[in-house]
Amino acid sequence: MATKEKSPPLEGFRDLVTHLEKGSKPDRSTWRIGTEHEKFAFYKDTLEPVPYEGERGIGALLNKLADQFGWERVYEGDKVIALKQGMASITLEPGGQFELSGAPLEHLHQTCAETGSHLTQLRTICTDMGIAFLGVGFQPLWGLDQIPIMPKGRYKIMRDYMQKVGRLGRQMMFRSCTVQTNLDFGSEADMVKKFRVSLALQPIATALFAASPFAEGRLNGFLSYRAHVWTDTDPDRTGMLPFVFEPGMGFERYAEWALDVPMYFAYRDGKYVDCSGQSFRAFMDGKMPVLPGERPTEKDWEDHLTTAFPEVRLKTYLEMRGADSGPWSRLCALPAFWAGILYCDAALEAAWSLVKSWTAEDRESLRRAVPVLGLRAPVRGVKAQDIAQAALAIARQGLKSRARSDNSGEDETHFLMELDDIAASGVTPAERLIERYRTEWGGDVRPVFEACAY
């Protein structure tokens, strides 16, 4: 941690661009698949959220995982706030959502094995603690005032700033859960094409994975309330980024946009310095009011890039950010969908043909319709369901061409089966939960804690 302060300051805008350029991997054999997923921890007897403190708290859970399974502890002050093991980590979201940030892996069989191992470790530890985990996109029962706050300095800064810039930012922080896929690019041109295709199709992934129809013990009027929350979180750092589709898009253009995303913090001497609302441009000029005379390091820029939240995010790889969390099967399906489309040239071209005629208004309209209508959302005279089925067929061919088999000779296409079923039926996971809520659950959301537990 101490080396952060010793890094040389950035000289100028070119250094910001160079950082992004480092992500290019011309050799596709080095391309990897990273998968992150969040889930809600709850006590099985009361369904209440798990606080950080106490013998049955999140802190104790992290320490037990470290002791029993060899994870390395990461501290903030005297509190364990994350675990690391190789390239994988376990981190905490603001309201105690428990996140596995998986290692960059070669194929989807490894991804599913990693997820399975993680969930097995949690079951081993949590059974005696009376803790279980819920896989949906939004907290179905607890109100905002019931959610515990994790002891991470950056989250206090974010929490205080969020209420100044959007109505629903705190809901996003404390009550939402996602599954995310991180993928590589070969060059600037490859990055741009993948960025455009994945941004246009992100609402389709939102529809396929929609699983957040409940809030505070009742229906909330949405199929993906998590996705809706992002439309009123902070317009400066979220959304569909129309400039990505404009001529001249590249690393420089994204760096220009990110430079104007208001800051949250800078990390100094083990503490988060509140820079909320300040300009990274001013920081580059040594004119940051709270750090007078200081100029940012590459690590500051890296940290700043993590505070932008568009539907697809560029770092030294591309992050697909549009899906609600869900059961184990769908945690493996998201990387299958995106790797199938983005890691095969023919599939990428076919997917671009699907979306290249869409305007910025088409993309934004689809993004805003999907949280309510799911696969019935319209785009250019067709339904999201039609686009989903076409995209899944493309992903299947892309995975076939990758020809990555497991020990039994099965390729990666079987990870798409659940999505194929959702797309063929036109019925989202959320609508299936709503049907159970109205029938077998008798209008009570609490059975979701059993139906969607890991």
Report domain 31-261+308-451's class: alpha beta
pLDDT number for residue 163: 85
d(CA 4, CA 18): 18
Domain boundaries, the chain: 31-261+308-451
pTM of the model: 0.96
What is the residue-level pLDDT of the chain in tens, covering all 454 positions?
334 446 899 999 999 999 999 999 999 999 999 999 999 999 999 999 999 999 999 999 999 999 999 999 999 999 999 999 999 999 999 999 999 999 999 999 999 999 999 999 999 999 999 999 999 999 999 999 999 999 988 889 988 889 888 889 899 999 999 999 999 999 999 999 999 999 999 999 999 999 999 999 999 999 999 999 999 999 999 999 999 999 999 999 999 999 999 999 999 988 999 999 999 999 999 999 999 999 999 999 999 999 999 999 999 999 999 999 999 889 999 999 999 999 999 999 999 999 999 999 999 999 999 999 999 999 999 999 999 999 999 999 999 999 999 999 999 999 999 999 999 999 999 999 999 999 999 999 999 999 999 9
Output the six-digit token pair for 239: 């959304």
Residues shown for the chain: 454
**Residues 133 and 39: beta-carbon distance below 8 Å:** yes
Write the DSSP string, 235-251. Answer: TTTEE--GGGGSTT-SH
**Residues 454 and 327: beta-carbon distance below 8 Å:** yes
d(CA 91, CA 93): 7
What stretch of H or E contains 79? strand 79-85
d(CA 87, CA 84): 7
